[in-house]
Amino acid sequence: MAVCIVHLHYFIGLNAYPVSKLLTYGQQGVAIFFVVSGFIIPYSLWNSNYTIRNFFRYLARRSLRIDPPVLAIIMITILITHEFNIVRILYNIFYLVPFSDSYKWYNGVFWTLGIEFQFYLIIGLTIGLIINKNIKVIVFFILLISMTGYFIQLKNNYGFILHSAHYFGFGILTLLIYKKRISILYGHILLFGLCFFLSCSISILTGCIGYFSALAILHLSFRNIITDYFGRISYSLYLTHPLAGFYLADYLKHFQLNIYLLILILVILCTLIANLFYAAIERPALKFSKRISIKNG
């Protein structure tokens, strides 16, 4: 929702208003999303007694979960823009755009899904080591990658997981605390140490976003009817709001509404569209993906 509001405020020109600076912090929702993924994806594999022999079943399950909605958005975009290119479609579906100078994402938010998919590959191959191998060695490598990944320069840097590795590192360290692979005290020292390093080397915001997201996962509960609802449709909202928000904003601007009323109406309409998209596309894909078991034993 935070990322949605950020994009909507650009669509309607709210960046000219004093509240704009506050709203732009909503883009940190992507960073929080990476921290949560760093926790929840390996957590799910851990609880499933996953082993690497189920790697391709795991990938198939993740693909069936996230790809049908992506493909639907691509098709809708092509219908609207008439930008049909089969190679570009393949690059988008297989998250290969960062490896290309010729093809772009059909949707501006797809770059984060590309990073997510890279994480799925890495964690699917390494979760057994995280669970079973020497914890000091595991922590060393998590910290090493978290502290250096951002500074490794690659072409199309933002499209690769190394640039955001520190956020996933926060999530994995949080999981190690939660699963008692490391003590609470030691874990909190590691989280704070990583926060301090990132605050000094990148920005205070970068360090604090990862740190406080990790603390929230460990110590807070956000379960209520509203958070459950938006949690359920969050992926659909994330995928649909750039298209829906852009065209709705372009249409509604003609009514010369109060700018704050306009963004409220856009949020409501984008939420309704996301709900329809969830019911029609995402929920069936989710149900189908659950048919593929990755449990071992």
CA nearest neighbour of 216 among 83, 14, 86, 39: 39
Q: Which residue has the tokens 């984060």?
A: 112
Spatial distance between the Cα atoms of 194 and 74, rounded to a whole number of angstroms: 38
- Indicate the DSSP class of residue 63: H
Position 92: which residue type?
Answer: N
Residues 6+ apart with CB under 8 A from 176: 130, 135, 138, 139, 182, 187
Read off the pLDDT of residues 250-280 as tens digits, 9 standing for 90 and up: 888 888 877 778 888 888 999 999 999 999 9
The phi, psi pair for 49, rounded to 5°, reads 55, 40
Which helix or strand (DSSP H or E) is residue 124 part of?
helix 110-132
Read off the pLDDT of residues 164-175 as tens digits, 9 standing for 90 and up: 999 999 999 999
CA dihedral for 155, 160, 166, 169, sign (positive or negative): negative
CA nearest neighbour of 294 among 45, 100, 98: 45
CA nearest neighbour of 7 among 235, 203, 240: 240
Which whole-number Å values give the CA distances from 252 to 20, 101, 249, in the listed order? Answer: 20, 36, 5
Percentage helix, strand, coil for the chain under 3-state DSSP, each rounded to 5: 80, 0, 20
Read off the pLDDT of residues 231-244 as tens digits, 9 standing for 90 and up: 899 999 999 988 88
CA dihedral for 43, 235, 114, 202, sign (positive or negative): negative
Q: Could you tell me the two tokens for 239?
A: 């995928």
0.85 exceeded by the pTM? yes
CA nearest neighbour of 167 among 25, 27, 30, 1: 30
Position 218: which residue type?
Answer: L
Read off the pLDDT of residues 108-153 as tens digits, 9 standing for 90 and up: 899 999 999 999 999 999 999 999 989 999 999 999 999 999 999 8
Residue 2: pLDDT band (50, 70, 90) is very low
Residues 24 and 48 sit within 8 Å (Cβ to Cβ): no
Residue 12 has pLDDT above 60, yes or no: no
Q: In this predicted structure, what is the pLDDT of residue 26? A: 55
Spatial distance between the Cα atoms of 243 and 260, rounded to a whole number of angstroms: 20
